[in-house]
Structure 1
Amino acid sequence: MDEFRHVPVMRDEVVDLLAAGASDRERPLFLDATLGAGGHTAALFERCPNAQVVGLDRDAAALVAAEERLARYSDRLTTHHLRFDQLTDVVDPGSLSGVLFDLGVSSPQIDHPGRGFSFRQTGPLDMRMNVDDALSAAEIVNNWDEADLASVIWRHGDEKQARRIASAIVKSRPVLDTTSLSAIVADALPAAVRRKTRQPAAKTFQALRIEVNSELDVIEPALLAAIDSLDLGGRLVVLAYHSGEDRIVKRVMKEESRVITGRRDLPPPPDAKVRMRLVFNGAHKPLANELEANSRAGSARLRAAERIEGLN
């Protein structure tokens, strides 16, 4: 599985945050909810010699690659072919010292033309992280009505030209591959916009990928389930790569780290409990030296929260 290689984003800070939540545990248990190629987990094993990790990924190819990369830790790693919102199938409430979510698409998925994620390389209009899922990008591009297609491109891609792009796609049907779609999108943009945009199709491809994989729909329930699974002092660490993801992460962490009464003029009820505290305010970004080595890390936003209230 040499083609499935991925540089873990903000690796050292991620591992520092997770390890700090397990400093008083003899055999900490972590969940890597998006195992990918296993880069973060490999670093975590090095940092915490007694740690056990449960790794999830909806991409079967990623799991195979991770198992090969982490073979020397096989007695400390358990993997499952699951979406991260299914984490309660394999972990118990209050059992984890830390949880990591590395959201979005990985470099190997983008770089493999056959997966259909890349607008630079010719491949099928697929974009499924789990190839067993029914919905593909081809179905959306070639069969959805124009209004629904425009809505997807606008909502998930923040694309101001969504209606023009959707109209151009519908007029060009059938669209058979990724580079054909990329050209259609570029041609649909006004010349002034096209001149200012390095990758005209990037937002449209992002939007289709998010819709195909229901990416935004599963983040909140997964985060809440992860919080339930944390032991006292355990850390929730999340890397997000676009504004839609990060808004959800920010909101969930904020809501779980404050008492909500529903009325600003009312004090919190006496039995109110805040489950989390923010480890730091706002989001951290990659440092300049990391961006020089891995330009794809540029959009990363890192947030972390710690469980401060145990199970009742």
Structure 2
Amino acid sequence: MEFNHVPILLNECIENLKIHPNGIYVDGTLGGAGHGVAICKNLTIQGHFIGIDQDENAIKAAQKRLMGFPPKISVIRDNFRNIKSILEKLKIEHIDGMFLDLGVSSHQLDEPLRGFSYQNDAPLDMRMDNRKTFTAKDIVNHYSKQELTKIIKTYGEEKWAARISQFIVEYRKNKEINTTGELVDIIKKAIPAKARRNGPHPAKRTFQAIRIEVNNELDILKDSIEDIVDCLNPEGRICIISFHSLEDRIVKKTFQKLENPCECPPEFPQCVCNKKPKIKIITKRPIIPTELELKNNPRARSAKLRVAQKIGSK
């Protein structure tokens, strides 16, 4: 299947990256290179674009789409959490900007065998990096009821988490759960009919929670933002698009901590901890898609873009 992914908030991302034509820019979630192509169009032959993705299909598609653009291009199969070691291998000390588009791509959702979608019956997988061995099947069949309830409630913000977990545990006593279709049926039976009449697909939140757990998405995000800021040149920018309230909260709180790191008690007349701000938050409120973009790409509906700039001058 061709790797199709419509870049979300594209113009807003390019505008906020403030691209210097000869600079070094990183897309940590390269995907099909929709944002990457736009970044490369703003770079000269002296510039350098680095694209990172852990998905094998994304890497192959991006390499084709980025051919022929002016800057030096490095496409790397890895996770953006390893940004410091990636740059070290490339012998790069600092970059001028980095972009992240969090969550699952349209291609991953639309490729049935990946098991990301509750709309198709497929093996329970949900790995963004198929080199890993841990899958959604392991979670559904081996996590305790308490563990399942915790991740479905926390990562999926699912009201019926405990009931869904109970139905999963009861079902697997007699038969291993192997497919997305089986899991969807279990979830539908667990959620009362009245509660299923309105709102999103009844399996949406549970699938989201399991995907986040399989790929360790939130912990990776928490660990990565400060590392990315450390890698930026003064005035370099970090742009992050999130699609989930927990992701957005992590980005927001981490940005706030980096902008105001002082840990002194409020009653202190002046700061004595000597922790200095690392960034300036550019977007006091997140940038969201326009009505026109939502009309053309409904999957953009929950997208939020937050931007910060490294403090200092060149």
- The TM-score normalised by the length of structure 2 is 0.93
Residues 174-207 of structure 1, C-alpha deviations (whole Å, 9 max, x = no match): 2221122112101210122111233000000000
Q: 1:310 to 1:198 in 2, by over 3 A?
A: same
Match of 2:299 among 293, 296, 301: 296
Q: 1:288 to 1:77 in 2, by over 3 A?
A: same
Contact in 2 for aligned 1:152/1:207 (Cα 8 Å) = yes
Match of 1:54 among 35, 50, 69: 50
Contact in 2 for aligned 1:285/1:300 (Cα 8 Å) = yes
Looking at structure 2, the residues matched to 227 and 253 of structure 1 have their Cα atoms a distance apart, in angstroms, of 10
Question: Hey, what does 1:160 align to over in structure 2?
Answer: 159
Counterpart residue type for residue 2 of structure 2: E
Looking at structure 2, the residues matched to 49 and 75 of structure 1 have their Cα atoms a distance apart, in angstroms, of 5
Looking at structure 2, the residues matched to 57 and 73 of structure 1 have their Cα atoms a distance apart, in angstroms, of 19
Q: 1:99 to 1:75 in 2, by over 3 A?
A: closer
Q: Provide the alpha-carbon RMSD of the alignment.
A: 1.7
Question: Hey, what does 2:26 align to over in structure 1?
Answer: 31
SS at match of 1:199: coil
Question: Hey, what does 1:276 align to over in structure 2?
Answer: 279
Residues 99-149 of structure 1, C-alpha deviations (whole Å, 9 max, x = no match): 001111100001100100000011110000011112100011112211111
SS at match of 1:135: coil
Q: 1:133 to 1:10 in 2, by over 3 A?
A: same
Looking at structure 2, the residues matched to 3 and 95 of structure 1 have their Cα atoms a distance apart, in angstroms, of 34
Q: What displacement does 1:272 show? A: 4.0
Contact in 2 for aligned 1:259/1:268 (Cα 8 Å) = no
Q: What displacement does 1:170 show? A: 1.5
Q: How does 1:5-44 map to 2 (within 5 A)?
A: 5-18=4-17, 20=18, 22-23=19-20, 27-44=22-39
Contact in 1 for aligned 2:255/2:279 (Cα 8 Å) = yes
Counterpart residue type for residue 62 of structure 1: A
Looking at structure 2, the residues matched to 55 and 309 of structure 1 have their Cα atoms a distance apart, in angstroms, of 26
Identity of aligned residues (%): 34
Looking at structure 2, the residues matched to 127 and 138 of structure 1 have their Cα atoms a distance apart, in angstroms, of 9
Structure 2 residue ranges without an equivalent (≥5): none
SS at match of 2:97: strand
Question: Hey, what does 2:136 align to over in structure 1?
Answer: 137
Residues 234-259 of structure 1, C-alpha deviations (whole Å, 9 max, x = no match): 00100000011111100111111124
Contact in 1 for aligned 2:151/2:213 (Cα 8 Å) = yes
Contact in 2 for aligned 1:94/1:310 (Cα 8 Å) = no
Structure 1 residue ranges without an equivalent (≥5): none
- The TM-score normalised by the length of structure 1 is 0.94
Looking at structure 2, the residues matched to 310 and 139 of structure 1 have their Cα atoms a distance apart, in angstroms, of 49
Residue correspondences, number: 306
Counterpart residue type for residue 96 of structure 1: I
Contact in 1 for aligned 2:262/2:273 (Cα 8 Å) = no
Q: How does 1:116-195 map to 2 (within 5 A)?
A: 116-173=115-172, 174-195=176-197
Question: Hey, what does 1:66 align to over in structure 2?
Answer: 62
